[in-house]
Structure 1
Amino acid sequence: MSDASYRDAIFSTPLDRVARFSFDEKVVACFPDMIRRSVPGYGQILGMLGLIASRHLRHGAHVYDLGCSLGAAGLALAGTLPPDAFRYTGVDLSPAMVARARETLAAECPAHAIEVIEEDIRRLDYRPSGMVVLNFTLQFLAPQDRDAVVARLFEALEPGGVLVLSEKIRAADEQENAWLVERYHDFKRANGYSEMEISQKRTALENVLMPDTLEGHHERLARAGFPRSQTWFQFLNFASLIAFKDAVAPAPRGE
């Protein structure tokens, strides 16, 4: 398969019936362009992953990239860390994404210990890991499944490990949320999307991408057992959080 990617024009023609959004071959072909023009701050988030790993990842530890798409997080880590610094497992449910990610990572990072598997992150048998990257993935799971996934990630993380969680978010205040959504649409217009493309993609994502509030994310992380989490990045209604698992379990409190 060619490594060429194409301009995102999936919703550029009128559709009698807008299908639900899915990560199929058409999306894979234009995914780099789609992400660049649709996700504010995506490049900055990727650029920080290696720096975060340099500070928090035990040398040689395992890293999960859940919902890895084309393996951009793996490329970012490999671009910063030497081959013996980590072992990487990318996980995605889309066969088309997995196939392209395997090709790309094998070509770009041949010396690194990298694998990409096709699996549902709700059913994956997790191995102990020093870092988990969950970039714009949790939002595509049914809301009732999210707590269980995050709780399992807490259990899989080694003491001192970190979870990087990036998501599209919604504001609890309706007026604030409307302003963020309007400015996000301005961002997409500035990146060349037409009114029809914006409208049709929004329809396709209804009931597929269901965002939480920032407060909801932090509360879920606390319920899972993370003693501390913080929002380290936000650009309009897109944000990235980091959650820390204590290196040493706290002593039990006396009665």
Structure 2
Amino acid sequence: MAEPHTDFSFKDHAPKFDSHIGASIPGYKDGLLPTCVALSRRFVQPGTRVLDVGCSTGHLLAAIRRENQAARPDVSYVGIDCEPNFGRHWTRRRAKNLAFEVCDARAYDGYNNASLALGIFTLQFLRPIDKRPLLRRIYDGLVEGGALIIAEKTLAENSRMQDALTFPYYDYKLKRGFTPDNILDKERSLRGQMTLWTETELGSALNQVGFGQLQTIWKNFLFVGVLAIK
């Protein structure tokens, strides 16, 4: 009898999470992350906060701070994540105006006075009933002209597109050292944990909570990055 599969655990991947996600998501390191850093120069406002919701290792938030620190030294940067094992990475990234906190994004009360918020592959791990309320809290906390950069794995708009994009993605992972068993085990472990929207549903939800200006800024297979401006 086969052993029962276990759920995906951020705790298990925390020590080498940046390497894991870089190998798992095409264009993550050389496309999505540099785009987020470049866009931050446009949206980080003096005297405000930058929030990374589901910050994992804090790598992206630290890079955004470095990009903006000289021009806007009075900005504070806060990363939140519910997995305490990412703390080993936070220790070496903390700075005078860069802090990290272990907490559930749904209960966090510090969304106010943010000029930029990040949600990089975070919303997809929430229950459907919790997604829009969190987006609303982020929207309400942004200052006028502030922005949310959100990236999600999505579902294709129809089954034919889903099939067309899924298997080339598996081929991509095979070329980067994943075995067929690795890929299948990962899919099994995420079953029931990852709740995906289509890109259209993601855009509709962002509109519904108040974001009137949306632009897709990055896309690779079924992974999508969207800029939403208040």
3-state SS of 1:177 partner: helix
User: Cα distance, 1:173 vs. partner?
Assistant: 0.8
Q: 8 Å contact 1:37–1:188 — kept in the other structure?
A: yes
> Which ranges of structure 1 fall in alignment gaps of 5 or more residues?
1-14, 246-255
> Which ranges of structure 2 fall in alignment gaps of 5 or more residues?
none
Counterpart Cα distance in 2 of 1:53 and 1:124: 22
User: Cα distance, 1:85 vs. partner?
Assistant: 5.7
Counterpart Cα distance in 1 of 2:100 and 2:214: 28
1:153 aligned residue (111, 115, 138): 138
User: Cα distance, 1:155 vs. partner?
Assistant: 0.3
Counterpart Cα distance in 2 of 1:189 and 1:180: 15
After superposition, give the CA deviation of every residue in 1:104-150 in whole Å (9 maximum; x if it has no partner).
313xxx4x510100111111112220010000000000011101110
Q: 8 Å contact 1:45–1:240 — kept in the other structure?
A: yes
Matches within 5 A, 1:219-230: 219-230=204-215
When structure 1 is superposed on structure 2, of 123-132 and 133-142 the one drifting more is 123-132
How many residue pairs are counted as aligned between the two chains? 225
3-state SS of 1:47 partner: helix
1:114 aligns with 2:81: no
Change (3 A) 1:182 1:226: same
Aligned to 1:40: 26
TM-score (ref. length: structure 1): 0.85
Counterpart Cα distance in 2 of 1:76 and 1:45: 13
Instruction: Kindly provide the amino acid, as one letter, of the partner of residue 105 in structure 2.
Output: I
Matches within 5 A, 1:57-72: 57-72=44-59
Counterpart Cα distance in 2 of 1:146 and 1:213: 14
Matches within 5 A, 1:124-163: 124-125=108-109, 126-163=111-148
3-state SS of 1:204 partner: helix
Matches within 5 A, 1:75-90: 75-82=62-69, 84=73, 86-90=75-79
CA RMSD in angstroms, aligned pairs only: 1.4
2:177 aligned residue (180, 192, 195): 192
Counterpart Cα distance in 2 of 1:59 and 1:52: 15
Aligned to 2:89: 101
Q: 8 Å contact 2:78–2:99 — kept in the other structure?
A: yes
- The percentage of aligned residue pairs carrying the same residue is 27
Instruction: Kindly provide the amino acid, as one letter, of the partner of residue 89 in structure 2.
Output: A
User: Cα distance, 1:17 vs. partner?
Assistant: 2.0
3-state SS of 2:5 partner: coil
Counterpart Cα distance in 1 of 2:75 and 2:165: 37
After superposition, give the CA deviation of every residue in 1:33-52 in whole Å (9 maximum; x if it has no partner).
21111011211211122211
User: Cα distance, 1:78 vs. partner?
Assistant: 2.5
Structure 1 moving runs of 4+ over 6 Å:
none
1:29 aligns with 2:48: no
